[in-house]
Structure 1
């Protein structure tokens, strides 16, 4: 039996440092979503922190996941906001969270046996790979902002993660970010003006829709809520990737119904306060893979720190001054780690890629997931793209292709 993720309690000082490292990993992406959609970054930080704590309570403190702003909802939130304002976007996001909660109840009733049948390692492995590889263009764009800084940050992180000992061994991301920041400051690409302008303490500007706004914004549900269908597939992929990283079957314990419920309640809570929908973060999965420290308490510490950042404006502004190139160097490694976890899933489950059936499934999932190929569902304003579409195609191929297909070339000679 595997040890509990809470086994081997860490000293409080290490929990603090490791929590700060996870905070840095999630910060950039979490504030980017509200910046792109016109929502309040401080509210996004607050709701991601509280949402993460909610998730940990619902999943019985067993799943070391951090929940941050979801990129999948960016386009529909912008569309709903233009048509119905922020209240419309939030009503749609609230409905998406309620769909998660509803599906959680369905899964709790019917069980998860369907996962083993429809999501074997030959499907799960490449789907996990597409999570990391699909984010590669994001890493490229960030690193390209100032390539020398990105390369320096990446180099420091790699050296620390491989050669360092003791405490430094488990905080390579934090050391890399600090080193990269100093390097970027030397080259004059750090702008500290936002720190000087920010207040020390300020309450996040929460946006709670009124009853009249709720009624007027109901059509926005049709714009945002259907995306929940796609993001539930992504949620499953993230949970499987997380389980592979820490060598635990989270689908079984605490159960997919609990992880989905935690995600849904966190998203609904965020929408009620004017924050973007939440999702489990690949960046933090990458940190878990590098540090090998899987204790959920570390993530909970990160959530507490982020909660503080939502009120301490100067510190939050300081973190936002981290140049994209610094984080670009970091995510090159983090996103690659996620892809490697998918590859490990194939290897450890001895998926035979000399079998044509397996080769077809893996190849198709990888190309669809990495290319970002999109499919618009007729009659609905819903787009399946990237990992979501790749996962669905993989499931269909796994059902339709007979397992008796072999590929021994000698049989055809």
Structure 2
């Protein structure tokens, strides 16, 4: 582990009240744009997403014994599966799928606690996880372009909407590349805000819902056994559960980065099993309220790296603010007035970044695509996932897209000879023997 970095506030330090409020709001802004974008894209309530992300983060901090300063927000990896699940059985089906994904996290946490990490590395080497992450981003490319180019009222091409999307995209890129300090940490929020103002000037924004909304308003929760009766479906399992396998690998990567930033080994203390369990519980909480699945946020890790404020109390404060914002009706109404073109412009960049992060995983882990084994596995995953291949098991049961690509990738990795070339330099998971040496 690298040398302990200089800290402004350590993990268990409590800031003064004025500092606490400002630092927590900074974390809130860092996650806000991405967290509300996911429910916007899958037509769930942004207010519920804020509340569930706040409650999920507080649960995560509790399960990890207040030793990992991570914020959890809406997961982009589940966008396409949620859309597919809703088409199969409505938002209730998507919530059932999210609940099952959360249970998968719990099962993996138990296995890691019992068996360690090595078995997970065998199933999910970088040559499988990297291309699957690329499929997640590339599979959503059409969604971003349709939102950017088409008038949602008619479904037809609109130059006005496309210009708004391009302006939003341009400002987001400029903010990410050239802004300094705090504003460099929130390029998505800067892009959405600027795009919104430009869209208002172009006549695409109707503020009537904001004027009519109450200041205090309960979100539209979707609660099992209260607003609906849950029902099990193998189709939902095959749509949602394979995504959890991939996001767990992403979660481990986030924990390694966070460990480096904070100068501690969170995989050992409080333990990766606790971290993954916390992520799973946060996703289960979201599924019981009607929000998208949660995941640890790289944006907030960036805030920690720049500010050197590692206090879990600051992260907990951001979670409390998120819950509060979810109950402010005018904020919820304002979010609902954001034109699809604005979200489409931001999505062009964000979905591309998801795809690029999969490519980066291959590069960072030194995966040699000159090796036939690696080339075959990555190529098959990409074409099956992006091409939309599916297996129709029964009339109502289908294995499609990313789920099928993930399953095929795992099977190819287990079957094909020469597994050692698929692990690269071994940086994806830091697997250790009992004596502390590299495995």
**Unaligned segments of structure 1, at least 5 residues:** 407-413
Structure 2 spans left out of the alignment, 5+ residues: 10-14, 151-160, 422-439
Structure 2 residue 157 is the aligned partner of structure 1 residue 157: no
- Structure-2-length-normalised TM-score: 0.73
RMSD between superposed Cα atoms in Å: 3.9
Aligned residue runs from structure 1 range 54-73, under 5 A: 54-59=59-64, 60=66, 62=68, 64-68=70-74, 70-71=78-79, 72-73=81-82
| Corresponding residue for residue 404 of structure 2 | 389
CA distance in 2, matches of 1:120, 1:209: 36
Report if the CA contact (8 A) 2:367-2:374 is conserved: yes
SS in 2 for 1:354: coil
Q: Which is further off, 167-176 or 190-199?
A: 167-176
Aligned: 1:366 with 2:378: no
Partner in structure 2 of residue 204 of structure 1: 219
2:121 to 116, 120, 124: 116
Q: Which moved more, 1:329-338 or 1:102-111?
A: 102-111
Which residues of 2 match residues 297-316 of structure 1 at below 5 A? 300=316, 302-316=318-332
Q: 1:331 aligned to 2:350?
A: no
* 1:173 alignment partner, one of 175, 181, 188: 188
Secondary structure of 1:375's aligned partner: strand
Query: Structure 1 or 2: larger helix share?
Result: 1
- Report the Cα offset of residue 379 of structure 1: 9.4
Q: Deviations over 1:345-393 (max 9, x none)?
A: 222222212222211112122222323323345698353432x322222
Aligned-partner SS, 1:351? coil
The answer as to whether partners of 1:17 and 1:171 remain within 8 angstroms in 2 is no
Tell me which residue corresponds to 2:436: none
Equivalent residue of 1:57, what SS? helix
What's the counterpart of residue 410 of structure 1? none
Q: How does 1:38-117 map to 2 (within 5 A)?
A: 42-59=47-64, 60=66, 62=68, 64-68=70-74, 70-71=78-79, 72-76=81-85, 79-80=88-89, 94=99, 97-98=102-103, 100-117=105-122
How far the C-alpha of 1:224 sits from its partner, in A, is: 4.3
Q: How many residues align?
A: 391
In 1, the alpha carbon distance for the partners of 2:316 and 2:387 equals 35
Equivalence for 2:373? 357
Q: Do the aligned partners of 2:218 and 2:329 also contact (CA within 8 Å) in 1?
A: no
Deviations 1:257-283 (A, max 9, x none): 3344224323433444x42452327xx
Q: Give TM-score, length-normalised by structure 1.
A: 0.78
8 A contact 2:172–2:191 mirrored in 1: yes
Distance (whole Å) between structure 1 residues aligned to residue 268 and residue 111 of structure 2:
15
Alignment-derived partner of residue 210 in structure 2: 195
Q: Per-residue deviation at 1:219? A: 4.7
Whole-angstrom distance in 2 between the partners of 1:203 and 1:405: 53
C-alpha distance 156-134 of structure 1, shift in aligned 2 (>3 A):
same
**CA 1:243–1:144 in 2, change beyond 3 Å: closer, same or farther?**
farther
Residue 275 of structure 1 aligns to a residue whose secondary structure is coil
CA contact (8 A) 1:287 1:334 kept: no
Decide whether the 8 Å contact of 1:123 with 1:394 is kept in 2.
Answer: yes
- What is the match of residue 35 of structure 2? 26
Cα deviation 1:150-209 (Å, max 9, x = unaligned):
111111222222222333333322222221111111101111111112111023355655
Q: 1:299 deviation in Å?
A: 6.2
Q: Aligned equivalents of 1:63 and 1:342: distance in 2?
A: 25
Q: Given the alignment of the two structures, is residue 343 of structure 1 paired with residue 359 of structure 2, yes or no?
A: yes
Q: Using the alignment, how far apart are the partners of 1:44 and 1:166 within structure 2?
A: 27
Task: Return the offset for 1:288.
Answer: 6.1
